[in-house]
Amino acid sequence: MVSNALYIPNIECAVITVCCVFSPQRETKGQFLVDHVCNHYSLLEKDYFGIRYVDPEKQRHWLEPNKPIVKQMKSQQPYTMCFRVKFYPHEPMKIKEELTRYLLYLQLKRDVYHGRLLCPFADAAYLGACIVQAELGDYDQDEHPPDYIQDFKLFPKQSLKLERKIIDIHKNELRGQCSAVAELHLLQRAHNLETYGVDPHPCKDFTGSTAFLGFTATGFVVFQGNKRIHLLKWADVNKLKFEGKTFYVIGIQKEKKLVLTFHTSTPAACKHLWKCGVENQAFYKCAKSSQIKTVSSSNIFFKGSRFRYSGRVAKEVIEASSKIQREPPEVHSLVSLETPITETPCW
């Protein structure tokens, strides 16, 4: 199925990104690799995760589970891919296993570092303190010098004022919390932020202004700078389609038809944006995966693309999680935040 060139580093040596360098046989499908990685870590709640790769033109893609890997890749073997959160749980508290919560914690920590998870000052300080508590445990004046937070690369821009507030929260509010509890508190605070789960897609709106599009458990979102200017809930999204470099969101807002138009940099970026939207809508909106049909971006004038969502949807995942009965796998927290982060920021 896959040659012995497959390499999956220990999760304690990576911050959510698990790089897989391998040479698959021609008919090996994407699902095999997803299952292989999940089995490696004994991960049962695997539906929240996916494998992403970047093609030679720097375009990101999600590995499609029902297609051969070789046919999806444009680069030469061996391939390098990243295992990461694809669908952010709407309610992290409903995650059954600590291992799954830990992986989500790692992803959110990475999102904070790259500026994808935008935070007001108070939230940023609390999230930073949770990370420090999870990594170091309780504050100890004999072990932690006044500038100990400087050793942690938590945010893209880390001011002295923010570091002082993180220290204050770490000292006084989080004492006594073990790593798992500190990580859980980070999930609780992070999932209420507007940019939780947003993997931003840069584009231009109809005025030519730069905007970032994203898909969350709630619906389709548009940001300009750090301000959310649109939220269209999944129940109100009727259709997502694209033509060339133009992406359309068709829905209902205040009982009136709404058509939002955006322009991406390349047709490949537009197709990727459309696929992400279709998958997120299916995962969060549908009650059962059996209800999902193959979708097409075509119309009478444009042939378009066809895409079929593969896998369980959120409601099915939560139901399956509630039935898990096993001795949970041991979870080892990171001991340092200094692991090199190689993923290019996109926001």
Distance of CA 316 to the CA centre of its chain: 19
Calculate mean pLDDT across residues 171-192. Answer: 96
Q: Is 59 helix (H, G, I), strand (E, B) or coil?
A: coil
Query: Poorest-confidence range of 3-17, 41-55, 219-233, 302-316?
Result: 3-17
pLDDT of 203 > 90? The answer is yes
Domains 11-87 and 198-286 share a fold: no
Q: What is the pLDDT of residue 21?
A: 54
11-87 CATH pick, 3.10.20.90, 1.10.620.20, 3.40.228.10, 2.60.40.10: 3.10.20.90
User: Which is more confidently placed, 300 or 174?
Assistant: 174
The residue ranges of every structural domain in the chain are 11-87, 92-190, 198-286
Q: Please report, for residues 26, 32, 55, the alpha-carbon distance to residue 81 in angstroms, rounded to integers and kept in the order given.
A: 17, 14, 10
pLDDT digits (tens, 9 = 90+) for 82-131: 899 999 999 998 899 999 999 999 999 999 999 999 999 999 999 999 99
Question: What would be the CATH architecture of the domain defined by 92-190?
Answer: Up-down Bundle (1.20)
pLDDT band at 332 (very low <50, low <70, confident <90, very high): low
Q: What is the pLDDT of residue 12?
A: 41
* CATH number for region 198-286: 2.30.29.30
The structure tokens 């360098």 sit at 21
pLDDT digits (tens, 9 = 90+) for 125-137: 999 999 999 999 9
pLDDT digits (tens, 9 = 90+) for 249-298: 999 988 899 999 999 999 999 999 999 999 999 999 999 988 887 776 65
What backbone torsions phi and psi does residue 35 show, to the nearest 5 degrees? -65, -40
pTM: 0.88
The structure tokens 């698959």 sit at 24
pLDDT band at 11 (very low <50, low <70, confident <90, very high): very low
Q: What is the pLDDT of residue 316?
A: 96
Q: Please enumerate in sequence order all residues whose Cβ is within 8 A of that of 76, keeping only pairs 6 or more positions apart, or say none.
A: none
Spatial contact of 236 and 252, defined as CB atoms under 8 Å apart: yes
pLDDT digits (tens, 9 = 90+) for 33-60: 899 889 988 999 999 999 999 988 999 9
Q: What is the pLDDT of residue 27?
A: 82
